[in-house]
Amino acid sequence: MAQGTTVSLIDHVAMATRDASATAGWFERTLGLRRGHDEVVEDAGVRLVWLYPGEHSPGGQAAAMQIVEPLRPGPVRDHLDSRGEGLHHVCFVVPDLAGALGELAESTERAFTGGFGYPCAFLDRQPEGCAIELVERAA
């Protein structure tokens, strides 16, 4: 990002899977994460299951684990078909999504409404094969 634009937190780390319930269940049983939110985001055609460590909650200071299951053809299903299940993206919090996107030297995908109704955008560049998402929310 251009000088002056910084991220304030890692919001979440996301895994793509064909069965969000089974994947989330493994993290709950094995690592003690707790399910905090389960939603369908129609705009993206995905189901999102949010898992949190300890007593942390949505919007807190600890990064969440997001399990992403595609509900129709689209980018997440394409990712699963070409790369299989596993790490999909890391999401960083920015205070002003439009401002951050305007300062980037590289192009981005279109902004969309993501989990919890927050404005989000994915960057076109995927360093080391990991997608990067930005979300606008208060830190």
Q: Over 50: is that where the pLDDT of 1 sits?
A: no
Our count of domains for the chain comes to 1
The pLDDT of residue 106 is 62
Q: Structure tokens of 86? A: 């596993």
CA atoms within 13 A on the CB side of 45: 9
In a domain, 94, yes or no: yes
Q: Over 80: is that where the pLDDT of 92 sits?
A: yes
The pLDDT of residue 59 is 60
- What is the model's pTM? 0.87
Q: What angle do CA 51, 58, 110 make, to 5 degrees?
A: 90
In a domain, 1, yes or no: no
Instruction: Report the alpha-carbon distance of residue 13 to residue 132 in Å, rounded.
Output: 10
In a domain, 2, yes or no: no
Domain that holds residue 84: 9-136
- DSSP SS3 for 3: coil
For the chain, percent helix, then strand, then coil, each to nearest 5? 25, 40, 35
Residue bearing the bigger pLDDT, 99 or 90:
90
For the domain that residue 87 is a member of, what is the CATH number? Answer: 3.10.180.10
The pLDDT of residue 90 is 96
Instruction: Report the alpha-carbon distance of residue 125 to residue 36 in Å, rounded.
Output: 30
Identify the helix (H) or strand (E) that includes residue 103. helix 97-103
- DSSP SS3 for 90: strand
pLDDT digits (tens, 9 = 90+) for 93-138: 999 898 888 887 666 667 888 999 999 999 988 888 889 999 998 7
In a domain, 3, yes or no: no
pLDDT digits (tens, 9 = 90+) for 3-44: 545 788 899 999 999 999 999 999 999 999 999 999 999 988
In a domain, 107, yes or no: yes
pLDDT digits (tens, 9 = 90+) for 56-88: 666 666 789 999 999 999 999 999 999 999 999
Q: What is the mean pLDDT of residues 38-59?
A: 86
